[in-house]
Amino acid sequence: MAYVVERRKDDGTARYLAQYRDPEGRIRSAGTFSSRRAAERAGNREEQRVLAGNWHDHTLGAIPFQAYVEQDWLPSKHLEATTTASYVSNLNKHFLPFFGTKAMHQITPSGAASLSCTGPPA
Asked if residue 118 has pLDDT above 60, the reply is: no
Spatial separation of the C-alpha atoms in residues 94 and 51, rounded to whole Å: 41
Minimal CA–CA distance to 49: which of 73, 18, 85, 80?
Answer: 18
- Side-chain half-sphere CA neighbours of 33 within 13 A: 18
Q: Which domains does the chain have, with CATH numbers?
A: 3-56 (3.30.730), 60-112 (no CATH)
The pLDDT, as a whole number, for residue 97 is 93
Proportion of the chain in helix, strand, coil states, percent, rounded to 5: 50, 20, 30
31-51: per-residue pLDDT in tens? 999 999 999 999 999 999 989
